[in-house]
Structure 1
Amino acid sequence: MQPGDVYETGFDESTGKTTSESATCPECDGHVVTDGGERHCPDCGLVIDEYHIDHGATARKGPGDERDPRHIGSPRTPARHDYGLTTEIGRTRDGTGRTLDGKTRQRFSRLRVQHRRARHESKRDRNLEQGCQEVSRIAGALGLSRSLEEQAAMVFRRAQDEHLLRGRSIEAVAAASVHAACRCAGLPRSISEIEPLARVAGQRVRNAYRVLNDELGLPTPPPTPTAFVPKYASALEVSTAIRKRALELAELAVERGVASGRQPSGVAAACLYQASLEAGAGLVQTTLADLADVTPTTIRTGWNAVLAAIDATDGADSATADAGGTASPVPGER
C-alpha cells in the first residue's frame, strides 16, 4: 500500500508548502511526486506545478554543522548608494501576493514617506544616491555590463570623497565617471556618445572628466585603432575577412607609428576602408566618417598613411627576401 492511499496531502519540507500527494498525472495517469517544490511525474517527466518561494527559516550554523551560515540574498554592489542593502515597502500586495485593503495601503504609503526621509543621514548620502542612479541610467542606455557600471559608481564615489563635486553638477560628474570607467577598461566609448545621454551640456561633461583624470590619477591607457575596428565592423556588418584584415592593418599602423598624433577612430575607419577595397566591398568614406565622428578628410589622410605603411612593409619584405636569396661569398674569395 502506498502512503498516498492513506494520506491525501503531504508536506514538502524544502518549501514549507502542503501539497497533494494523491494526484495523478494528466498525461499517463502515473503517480505524481513532489521534490523541491516541483510536482512532476517520474514516469513521463511532466512538470505539473512549480513553487519557487521558500517559506522555510534561514539555515543557522550549529555545533559541528558544516553548512554555510550566511543569509541568502542579493549580493552587495557599489552601484547602489547603500550597496544594495535597502528595504522596499510594497504598495498593493503583501509578501504572499494577497491584495491589501485601503486602510493598509494608506498606512504603507505613510511608511514609505517616512522611510524615504530617514534613508539619508545627510545631504552627502542624497547626492550619492542621485549620482548612482544617474550612472545606472547612462550605463543602461549604453548597454554596458554590470561590472563597468560598478566601476563607474566607484569612480563617482572617489570623486565625492575627494570633494570634486563642489562647483560641479552631479549629472556631469556621473557621465564623466561612466566615460572614465570605459576608458580604464579599454572600451571604445567616446565621450561624444555619452554627451547626448547626459542631462547637462557636453562641455561640462568634458570638463568634469578632465578634472577626474587629473585629480584621481585614473589609469586610462591611450586608445588605439585596434579597439575601434570591431565596433565599426559590427555596425557596418562587414564580413569576417574584412574585419580580420582591418585589425591587421590597425596593428601595422600602430607598429609603424601611423597612429601617433592621429585620432584613433579615424585611423580605424581608414583601415576598414582599405580592407574593404582589397576585398572588393568598397565602403564609402562618408559613411565611415559619420560612424567614426570624423571628417572625410581625416579618413583620406589616414588612408594615405596606411597605404604608405603597407608599401614600406612590402618593400622591407622584398629586400629581406632578396638578401636571403643571394649566395654569401666564400671566405677568402672576392
Structure 2
Amino acid sequence: MSSTNASEKTVLDAQSPTTNEREHKGEVKHEPSERSTCPECEGQVITEDETSFCTACGLVVADEWVDRSPTLNDLGMVGEADKSIETVDPLQADKGLATKMGQHTDGHGNPLSNERWDRVQTLRKWHKRFRFGGQRKRTKRCNEGLRDIEMIGANLGLPEYVVKTAARYLRKAADAHLPGGRMAWESLAGGAVLLAVRAADIERADIDSAVATYTKAPRERVCAAARKIRCQCEVDAPVVRPNAVLAVLDALDEEAIPGARAVRTWRLACYLLELGDQVPIGPGTSRCTVAAAALYGADRLLPGKQVTQGQVAEAAATVVPTSKCRVAQYSRELVDAYKDEHGTDDPAVGLAQATGSQH
C-alpha cells in the first residue's frame, strides 16, 4: 500500500510544473515591488505580472514588460548568471552597461596606494573615452543633462520611476538633435522632468516653478523645452500650461473684447493653439507666447478686429516675456496653418471643431 502511494506521488510530482515553468508561462503571483510604498497614499505597492500598483488606491506605479524567458542559470549553462548581469539604467550615458570604477578604493573597499591611485586614474581616463564612444562631446553633454535630472528629482523628492522617465525623454530629445541654438541641455533636462511629472499625474503646487527652481535655466526656457520635447518627439504627456489662452485673455483690459465675442475668441484661440502643437509652430517657444499669437490670430479670423499686437503682447508679458514681433510671426503661421487645414479662413469651421472637441 505504501509503495502504491509513493508511486502515485512520484507521478503527480512529475506532472506538476515547477516554479520556474509556471513563471515562464506567465502565471505570476503577487510579489513585493521594487517600490514598497505608494507615492500618493503611502499604501503597499505590489507587482502582478508586469504591472506594479498600490493595493489601497490602485495607482499604477510602473507598467513595464518583463522578460520571463529562462536564464542561462536555468538552462544550466552558467552559474550565478543572474548576478553577473548589470541592469540597464537610462540615467547612465552607456545605459549602465559599463563597469563602474571607484575613485579612492579598490573592489574590496580598501584604500588605494599612491601608485595604484595613479594607475586607476589612467584606467578611468581610458574607460571614459571608450564609454562615451566616438561622439564624446555630445555624449558628455547628454551625461551632464542626466545628472541634472537626477539632481532635480532628488531636490523635489520625486519617485525613481519619474526620474527615469525624464531620462528617457531627454534621450529622445538627444536622438532628435533638439539641443542647439537657444535650446540648451539644461533647459531640456528641466523640460523632461516637467513632462515626466505631468505624465505621472503627481499633484504638486506650482510644479512649473518648483522644477525651474532647481534647473540651470529660467522658467520660460524650461516650459519652452517641455513643449519642444512633447511636440517634436511625440511624447504622450499632458501639455504644460493648459490654460495659457485664458491667462492671456484675463490679462487684457475688460473693455478690449466684449463678453460674447470674448468667448468665441477664446474658443477659436484654443483651437489654433492645438493646431500649433500638431504642426508644430514655434516648438521651442513658451506655450504662453504661442497662446498670445493664437489669441491675436483668432481675432484676425473673426469679423471686426478688436485688439492690436501691442495689446496682446503687453497682456502676455504679464505671464512670460514676449514681443510684438513674435506675436505677429506666430499669428501669421497659425492663420496659414488654419487655411491649409480647412481650405478656408471661415472662423465657423474652427468654432465648430472647438465645440465638438469640448463635448
Report the TM range for the smaller structure's normalisation.
0.3 to 0.5
The one of the two structures with greater contact order (alpha-carbon pairs below 8 A, sep at least 6) is 2
After TM superposition, the score normalised by the length of structure 1 is: 0.44
After TM superposition, the score normalised by the length of structure 2 is: 0.42
